[in-house]
Chain A
Amino acid sequence: MTIVTGKTEARRRLQPGKSGVLRNIWEHRADYAYVLPAIAVMLVVIAYPIYYTIELSFYNTPPGLQLRDKTFVGFNNYTAILTSAVFWKVTWNTLIWTVGSTGISFVLGFAAALALHRDFFGRGVLRAILIIPWVISAVAASYIWKWIYHSDFGIIGAVLVGLGWADRPPNFIDSVSTVLPSLIVVNIWREFPFAMIMMMAGLQTVPDQLLRAAKVDGANAWQRFWHVTFPHLSNVSTVTILLLAVANFNSFIIPWIMTGGGPSNASHIWITHIYELAFGRQRWGVASAYSVLLFLILMTLGYFYVRALSGNDRKDGSA
């Protein structure tokens, strides 16, 4: 029945040209009232900034916020960025940071969700404790770990010395080679709970009958996981990984508070670098050009994000 009405409606819409679409919009005018507040807020806080950032990226701006004196420089900001050594250093850091944090957070979170799926004594308490790092502020987390990593009085250094594995406490976040992995450990600490919650929610939707049927057919635990549970969770996994990747790509607080990007740019990622360019060195034009490049990358990620989500929707429609 739906097919027939769809066809006739399409035919009707084709004949009078655009008026069918307009009438359709007019007939639904009351519906827009519901989404209007959300859209209005979004427009002010998104559309305008995006436009402004793109415009600013083609200008050379004087220090300070006297933006009236800006001069048009074409693509100079972009070529300056792409030919600078710092850009490639920061891009490489961002890649390691994003892939490392996302991958490990997801694996740890998924494993924790699986281990917590079966009921046992104290499960609720354990789950609650594991989620806490995700809830507390990243600023607090940064300070806690900064204290843990402290080069003189840090607890990890003290343990290593106490066990005789090191002569003196190592410099975790003041050394070029260890700073990025050390920060990634902090980031994972805050982020794996999110993956865990998402995958726990996903696990509850795996039909029990399927698992039981697979068991009757002689599948072992690994086979049941790999052939039944995991395929069923592919959509949730995609969404979780994408959300984590975007959050990591955009993270700022942990590197900013713990190291400020140092030592010698070893822990600068894109966002901290953009922030420093804009608010530290007042180079708004270059910072905006960076932001536009970031846009392009994120739009690519966003394309997959939307595809993963609409994949969910399609399933919803057919179910």
Chain B
Amino acid sequence: MKKVISRIGTAAILALVLMCSSKSSYALDRSYTYNYDYWGDVQNTPDFYSPAKVFTSTELNLDKRLLSPQGIYVYNDSVYIMDTGNNRIIELKRTSKESLVVERIIESFNGDIDNKKFSGPTDMAISEAGNYFIADKGNGRILKLDKDLNFLMTFDIPKDSSIGDDVSFQPSKIVVDTAERVYCVAVGINKGLVKYEADGTFAGFVGATPVVFDFKQYIWKKFATQEQLTQMESFVPTEYDNAYIDYEGFIYACTANVKEEDLKAGKTDPVRKLNLLGNDILVRNGVFYKGDFPVYGDIYMGSGGGYSGPSLLTDITCFDNDVYTVLDKNRGRLFSYDDQGRLMFVCGGAGNMDGYFRNPIGLDHMGYDLFVLDQLDCSITVFTLTEFGELVYTAMKQFNKGEYKQSGETWQKVIEADGNYDLAYIGVGRALLREKKYKEAMDYFELKYDDENYSKAYKQYRKVWVEEHIVIIVIVILALFLVPMTIGKIKSLKFQIASSDAFKF
């Protein structure tokens, strides 16, 4: 008896353990690259990018090891690394897919200025005319040099009443447009990007993030004492972390100054696309079960593996097909969105393996290859497109060129590679829609809950259907009216005949 009971007991415990273990192993199964579906569920996808090579100081044969590099800039086939800790800029040339060679090391420049050295350069940009713009953060200036490193001019602290005399100017990130106007992200300036005209005059602030108004806090402030007020956070716009100017001259800006609850309530946008007036024109049309798909990185912000909170987007870059990628320094992930704000892929993570980061800080691209700079590892990771990624980009390119049939076929191949890739279904649907195959397009949109595109297809389908069946529709409507009318008429006639005196004999 005792044996039987203990056996049942062990069996029960074993079953319990098995149940628990099977559940946990299922939950932890996440691939290197993933995506979110309509329901916000994580869907593993094939790799979109794979790390081709990781370059450290040793691989690059540098005389001095990189020291806390802060920025990366790509111009044609040259890669510039801001070796901030060593006060210099390293120019690398990409000679083949997997090799970077040191071209020159820029430590000083020539010209008519006292201080010809950098102090902690954090970013640079090269204009169309070939002039160098360097954010010399430690010296509080933005330098403009010609391509032979001769000094041309500086952009200094903006003369604005809102900036006190005691504030030091610390330009950290810069972008330059085609007319050599400079837009700068500076530490402590939260009114947006500092804009300079080409001649160096300060032209105002561009694209301040709108202030989040909190009614509860407003009420609190009404009753708070002076001491409490000073301890409270003030309503100020958030600073940008980084900016990127795309091929059309729009500025993509991102900020890591976000709070979880603001993101979830849709009060702040960490990624913005600014037009000339500084208005946010980023499209957020992704399909999601509650509203539009959020462009703020990871949807789930729970803690795990020592990381918690929202994605902290620290750098952004945009390809010529309007796909933009942001870099999350919190979990070391890359998020890529297409021009409609739909998530293309998420990859990366924290760690020491190739393709994982410890403290990523900079992101740029060459063609469709991505370069990620890690300030703690002092390494540059080069990502190249996989076959899967190339398929997706090809399908998008074909669609934009108007080759809808080919685009549909390419998306079909994407579906074969990954049946959980929502964008592929919508891509096939959009291609079918342009080919006027409305019914098939509707089926694809319905599969992935794309109600906007479904409605577009259905509207056309309905129109065509009505036009084809107009005769039947008219007949049915007439019948609906005429049949009861005739029946009524006949009945009343019968009644009249029956009750009429004329027929009474």
A is bound by B: no
